[in-house]
A and B are shown apart, each in its own frame.
Chain A
C-alpha cells in the first residue's frame, strides 16, 4: 500500500499542475468558401478578436485571465497597434484580419479519450482512496483566422491543438505551472505563424 501511495505521489508530482499537448497540431484544408487564388493579408491590417470558452470566464481566476492572454498572444505574434476585441469596435473596417479563438474545456460528463476512461489521475485518485484529489481534463484550442475584405472571406483557416490539463490541489507547490493560458498562447502563436508561413 505504501509503495503504491509513493508511486502515485511520484507520478502526480511529475504531472504536477501542468498542461500537456496530447495531439498533433491539426491544420485542415482551406475553407471551401475561400478563394483558391488568395494573397496573404498584410499584418498591418486591423485585427479583430473574438474569444469563447465553454467554461464561464467569470467563475475561475485562471480563466478570467484567458481573455488577456489571448490579446497578449496575438499582439506578440502580429506586431500591430490596431488589435482589439470585436466589442471595442463601433463599426467594422472594410478590410481586416479576424481571429476567433475557442477554448473547449471538457467540463461536462463527456467521455474522454482512451475508450471513455479519464486518464491516470482518476485511477490514482481511486487507488489512493482520494488522498490525492486530482483531476484532469481534455482541452481543445480552435483558432480560426480569416482575411475579410468588403464583407467577403478572402482566406480562412481553422487550426486545432489538443491539450490535457492535470490538476492536483495538494501538489501545487511542486508544480511547474505550465498553465491553460500558456498552452493557449502556444496554440495561438503556432496558428498565426502557420497562417502567415508563406509571407514574403
Chain B
C-alpha cells in the first residue's frame, strides 16, 4: 500500500515537465505579457507534428517549453524554432496510461524524423497584452515554412 502511494507521489510530482513561462509567471497580468501560440497538426492519439522553441536570444531555455503555448515578458527576442514529429499513442490512450506516462517523456525523445525548416530564426518584438500565432506549412521540397502573425 505504501509503495502505491509513493508511486502516486512520484508520478504526480513528475507530471508536467515543460513550462509555458519565459521570464514571467502565472500571476502576471495578461497586459504585462505576450502569449505565443505554436501550431500543432494532428493529435496525440494519431501522432502529431509541430514547432517548438529551441533557443531564445541564442540560449537554450533552462526548462523545456510547451509545444503549444509560451508566455513572454514584453521585449524584443531572437527566437529559433525547431520541428518535431511524434508517434501515435492511441493504444496507450485506451489503456489509460497516457495521462500518467505521457508527460514523463520529453517530446524530443519520442520524435521521429523531424522535418527541415527553411528559415528557423526570427526576431520578434513581443508586446504586452498581445497574442501571436506561429503556424507552418510545407513547401514543395517538404521543408517547413514558418509564418508568424499577431492575432
Residues of A at the B interface (CB closer than 8 Å) are: 26, 28-29, 31-32, 50, 52, 54-56, 59-60, 100, 102, 104-113, 116-118, 121-123, 125-127, 129-130, 132-136, 142, 144, 158, 160, 169
Docked pose: A134 CA to B98 CA in angstroms: 10
B residues less than 8 Å from A135 (CB atoms): 98-99
Distance in Å from the Cβ of B51 to the closest Cβ of chain A? 11
Structural contact, A56 and B12, CB atoms closer than 8 A: no
Which residues from chain B contact A113 at a C-beta distance below 8 Å?
A: 26
- Tell me if B7 and A117 are in contact (CB < 8 A): no
Report, nearest first, the 9 A-B pairs whose CB atoms are least far apart.
A133-B96, A111-B16, A59-B43, A110-B66, A116-B16, A130-B96, A54-B68, A135-B99, A109-B103
In the complex the two chains form, is B44's CB within 8 Å of A107's CB? yes
Q: Is there an interface contact between A144 and B12, defined as CB atoms closer than 8 Å?
A: no
Within 8 A of A (CB), among B20-58: 20, 26, 29-31, 35, 37-46, 48
Which residue of chain B lies nearest to A122 when distances are taken between CB atoms in the complex? B99
Query: A110-B66, A122-B15 given. 14 additional CB < 8 A pairs?
Result: A26-B30, A55-B43, A102-B131, A105-B68, A107-B43, A107-B68, A109-B67, A118-B15, A127-B4, A129-B4, A132-B96, A136-B99, A142-B131, A158-B30
**Contact count band on B:** 35 or more
Complex Cα spacing A108 to B151, Å: 22
Q: Which residues of A contact B147 (CB under 8 A)?
A: none
11 contacts between A and B (CB under 8 A): A54-B39, A54-B40, A56-B41, A59-B42, A59-B46, A60-B45, A107-B44, A108-B66, A109-B106, A110-B66, A158-B129
Chain A residues contacting B46 (CB-CB under 8 Å) are: 59
B146 interfacial contact with A, CB 8 Å: no
Residue B121 at the chain A interface, CB threshold 8 Å: no
From known contacts A29-B31, A109-B102, infer whether A118 and B131 are also in contact, taking CB-CB under 8 Å: no
A121 and B11 CA atoms in complex are apart in Å by 13
Please determine whether B48 and A56 come into contact, CB atoms closer than 8 angstroms: yes
**B interface, by DSSP: helix, strand, loop or mixed?**
mixed
**Contact status B43-A56, CB under 8 Å:** yes
Q: Are A126 and B16 in contact (CB under 8 A)?
A: no
Pair A60/B102 contact, Cβ less than 8 Å: no
State the CA gap A135–B44 with chains docked (Å): 13
Given contacts A100-B151, A104-B69, A123-B8, contact A118 B107 (CB under 8 A): no
- A54 cross-chain contacts in B, Cβ below 8 A: 37-40, 68-69
Residues of B within 8 A of A110 (CB): 16, 18-20, 66-69
- Nearest A residue to B44 via CB reads A107
A105 to chain B, nearest CB (A): 8
User: Is B122 among interface residues, defined by CB-CB distance under 8 A?
Assistant: no
Contacts of B129 in A (CB 8 A): 28-29, 31-32, 158
Tell whether, in the assembled complex, residue B107 and residue A108 are in contact, meaning their CB atoms are under 8 Å apart.
yes
The reply on B95 being an interface residue by CB < 8 A is: yes
- Residue B124, interface by CB 8 Å: no
Q: For B11, give its contact among A50, A109, A126 (CB under 8 Å).
A: A126
Minimum distance in angstroms from B27 CB to a CB of chain A: 12
Tell me the nearest residue of chain A to B98, going by C-beta.
A135
Shortest Cβ gap from A100 to chain B (Å) = 5
Residues of A contacting B17 in the complex (Cβ-Cβ under 8 angstroms): 109, 111
